[in-house]
């Protein structure tokens, strides 16, 4: 289904007024909770395959965190949906009762990032459903396995028109698993300093690899554009570290520094 058809189908359903009903919103939130609880293992396995994050960590942070937030919405969304009285103005008659009425906006698009691919889709998704909207979710193409789970799971629990999954094309070819199943993040190799790719802001686990002829040209490249957020140097030479630290500008310069996450 083309994207514009998907949106029009959702808009037609939204215009029936069904999603504005409190009981329907509650049903949608409970359905989302059931989908998450019953597919915990699938989501944890998918995130492991995408990022090699321990399944126990995903279960605790992303699944349990989402369930706790869902419970909070279920306990409070009805109160949040109530009209809010506002101050009277001189132009109102005695019979007027001024208030702020909260109406859903219609069709909501949720675009998920790659690094916490479950909870950062679930959080805005539950908020949109609680507010009485229909939703299109677009999980990150970088977290391909998690995206497939969303596709399979949500289609079983929600009717089309309420919650749909947008299958957008990937922005860049991602990395692959080697023969020993060691995870390699997306790499872009043989990049030149003047490539158009280098003019864009690079976000996520996308790593362009540039090769320079010597240290002087490396320093010149680092200093030739916007100051970097950080420069990480891996070397056994103190002279190399000293040159990088003294001749480049950025948020930080670190030598042989790593962090395990």
Residue 195 falls inside a structural domain: yes
Domains: count for the chain: 2
Helix (H, G, I), strand (E, B) or coil at 108: strand
- What CATH number is associated with residue 113? 3.40.605.10
Domain range for residue 234? 187-255
In a shared domain, residues 76 and 199: no
pLDDT tens profile 33-61 = 999 999 999 999 999 999 999 999 999 99
pTM exceeding 0.75: no
Residue 219 falls inside a structural domain: yes
Domain boundary among 116, 132, 165: 165
The low-confidence residues of the chain, meaning pLDDT below 50, are 168-179, 182-183, 260-261
In a shared domain, residues 10 and 137: yes
In a shared domain, residues 12 and 126: yes
């Amino acid at each position: 289904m083309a994207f514009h058809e998907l949106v029009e189908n959702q808009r037609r359903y939204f215009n029936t007024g069904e999603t504005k009903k409190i009981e329907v919103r509650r049903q949608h939130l409970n359905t989302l909770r059931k989908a998450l609880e019953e597919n915990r293992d699938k989501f944890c396995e998918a995130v492991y395959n995408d990022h090699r994050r321990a399944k126990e960590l995903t279960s605790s942070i992303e699944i349990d965190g989402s369930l706790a937030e869902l419970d909070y919405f279920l306990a409070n969304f009805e109160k949040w949906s109530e009209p809010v009285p506002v101050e009277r103005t001189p132009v109102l008659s005695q019979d007027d009762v001024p208030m702020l009425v909260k109406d859903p906006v219609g069709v909501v698009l949720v675009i998920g990032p790659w690094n916490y691919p479950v909870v950062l889709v679930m959080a805005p998704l539950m908020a949109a459903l609680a507010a009485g909207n229909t939703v299109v979710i677009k999980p990150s193409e970088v977290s391909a396995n998690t995206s497939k789970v969303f596709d399979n799971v949500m289609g079983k629990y929600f009717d089309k028109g309420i919650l749909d999954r947008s299958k957008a094309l990937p922005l860049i070819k991602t990395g692959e698993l080697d023969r020993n199943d060691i995870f390699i993040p997306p790499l872009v190799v043989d990049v030149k300093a003047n490539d158009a790719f280098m003019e864009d802001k690079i976000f996520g686990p996308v790593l362009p690899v540039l090769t320079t002829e010597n240290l002087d040209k490396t320093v010149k490249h680092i200093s030739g554009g916007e100051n970097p957020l950080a420069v990480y140097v891996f070397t056994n030479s103190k002279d190399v570290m000293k040159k990088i630290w003294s001749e480049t500008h950025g948020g930080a310069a670190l030598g042989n520094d790593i962090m395990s996450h």
